[in-house]
């Protein structure tokens, strides 16, 4: 049977915090990309008053972190029209649309992304086809990376889910051992995907983000902080 950690939302002024109670000894606060959501992992018996007081004491730091994410460049929503800019693994591509009487498909060419679509296809249809293609590309690239880190970390995950995510680039549930990756990772350089996969699988060894977790990342990917900074500096698609 799958076990989930109990979570609830805590409001402090205009700030909303997602609090998750876990079998841990110390409270952990994080402001996560891509949108600066505030997450707290707290010991199972810790009171809401204690968590609230701790969070209030960290409000300055939280706002500074959120400001960094807010200043990160945002791209306008994709309309999937001719010569629109798209990205695949960090490479800028111009969209070309070819109308065909056949099943839709996407092809990658040097500097071009070609979408083959039936005539009169709606915006929603064009967006859904391209989104499904990005999910497939991310899955194909992520699976061998996951297997590589399984071996290096001596861990094993179960299912991989690719989905649009607003709070994180990825997640890993230690009970189900399932991994979730943000679809937008397919648009970023592959070294960023490699970092996110390592980060999530490392949680199967170390649950929090403390010193032991950072030591593990340093041992396996000494430039992980540079990769994280690169990922968080690149433009995001508008929600």
Q: 107 - beta bridge partners?
A: 114
What the chain holds in terms of domains, given with CATH numbers, is 7-70 (no CATH), 74-237 (3.30.2010.10)
Which pair of tokens denotes residue 239?
Answer: 């929600």
Q: What is the pLDDT along the chain (239 residues), one digit of tens a residue?
A: 335 677 888 999 888 899 999 888 889 898 887 678 899 989 989 999 999 999 999 999 999 888 877 776 667 678 899 999 999 999 999 999 999 999 999 999 999 999 999 999 999 999 999 999 999 999 999 999 999 999 999 999 999 999 988 778 998 888 899 999 999 999 999 999 999 999 999 999 988 777 899 999 999 999 999 999 898 888 776 55
pTM listed for this prediction: 0.75
Count Cβ atoms within 10 A of the Cβ of residue 114 and give its class: 0-12 exposed, 13-18 middle, 19 or more buried.
middle
**Does 34 sit behind a cis peptide bond, omega within 30 degrees of 0 on the bond before it?**
yes
DSSP result, 133-198: HHHHHHHHHHHHHHHHHHHHHT-----EEEE--SS-SEEE-TTT--EEEEGGGGGS-HHHHHHHHH
Coil, helix or strand for 122?
A: coil
Contacts of residue 72, Cβ cutoff 8 Å, sequence gap at least 6: 34, 232, 233, 234, 235, 236
């Amino acid at each position: 049977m799958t076990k989930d950690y109990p979570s609830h939302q805590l409001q402090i002024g205009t700030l909303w915090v997602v609090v998750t109670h876990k079998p841990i000894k110390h409270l952990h606060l994080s402001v996560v990309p891509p949108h600066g959501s505030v997450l707290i992992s707290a010991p199972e018996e810790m009171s809401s008053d204690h968590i609230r007081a701790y969070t209030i004491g960290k409000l300055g730091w939280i706002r500074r972190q959120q400001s960094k994410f807010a200043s990160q460049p945002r791209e306008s929503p994709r309309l999937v029209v001719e010569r629109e800019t798209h990205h695949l693994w960090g490479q800028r591509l111009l969209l070309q649309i070819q109308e065909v009487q056949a099943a839709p498909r996407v092809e990658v060419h040097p500097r071009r992304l070609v979408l083959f679509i039936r005539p009169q296809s709606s915006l929603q249809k064009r967006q859904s086809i391209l989104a499904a293609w990005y999910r497939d590309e991310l899955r194909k690239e992520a699976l061998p990376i996951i297997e590589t880190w399984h071996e290096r970390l001596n861990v094993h995950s179960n299912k991989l889910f690719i989905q649009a995510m607003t709070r994180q680039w990825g997640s890993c549930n230690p009970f189900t051992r399932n991994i979730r990756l943000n679809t937008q990772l397919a648009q970023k350089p592959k070294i960023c995907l490699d970092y996110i996969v390592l980060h999530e699988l490392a949680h199967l060894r170390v649950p929090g983000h403390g010193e032991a977790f950072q030591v593990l990342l340093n041992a396996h990917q000494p430039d992980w902080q540079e990769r994280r900074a690169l990922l968080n500096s690149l433009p995001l698609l508008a929600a």
